[in-house]
């Protein structure tokens, strides 16, 4: 890890990597800057439970949602569910919490129809440069 932190020939640099590695860090910065984003719950380790999460989702009026691990990319730990599925089978969320218990945070977002046609795009600018 020390080599990554001191290396001068890496891109993104280690400070940039630390900023984007944990999704809530850059997502909150984007939200604060007014960048549109799907409604999101950040379920932090040691402050989450399946029942509590489902309660938060229902309180927001979501019918369907997606979950992913903060530190993962691609489809690792990605799950799309409906409230109805979770109410009918509470073990779905319990299993996810058990399988990914060591993850520092889960990103939970309202499922947005059309996502398969309009994929997520993530671009970064540093110091006004793309």
pLDDT digit string (tens) for 3-50? 777 777 777 788 888 888 888 888 899 899 998 888 999 999 989 999
pLDDT of 35 reads: 85
Q: What is the pLDDT of residue 75?
A: 72
* Band of pLDDT at residue 58, cut at 50, 70 and 90: very high
Residue 77's pLDDT band (cuts 50, 70, 90): confident
Global pTM?
A: 0.79
Say whether pLDDT at 125 is over 70.
Answer: no
What's the pLDDT score for residue 14?
Answer: 80
Instruction: Compute the distance between CA of residue 116 and CA of residue 103 in angstroms, rounded to an integer.
Output: 26
């Amino acid at each position: 890890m020390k080599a990554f932190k001191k290396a001068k020939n890496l891109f993104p640099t280690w400070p940039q990597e630390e900023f984007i590695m944990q999704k809530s860090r850059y997502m909150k910065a984007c939200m604060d800057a007014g960048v549109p984003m799907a409604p999101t719950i950040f379920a932090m380790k040691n402050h989450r439970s399946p029942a509590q999460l489902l309660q938060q989702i229902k309180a927001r009026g979501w019918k369907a949602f997606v979950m992913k691990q903060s530190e993962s990319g691609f489809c690792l730990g990605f799950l799309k569910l409906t409230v109805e599925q979770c109410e009918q089978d509470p073990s779905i969320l319990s299993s996810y919490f058990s399988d990914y218990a060591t993850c520092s945070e889960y990103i939970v977002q309202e499922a947005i129809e059309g996502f398969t046609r309009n994929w997520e795009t993530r671009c970064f600018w540093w110091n006004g440069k793309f």
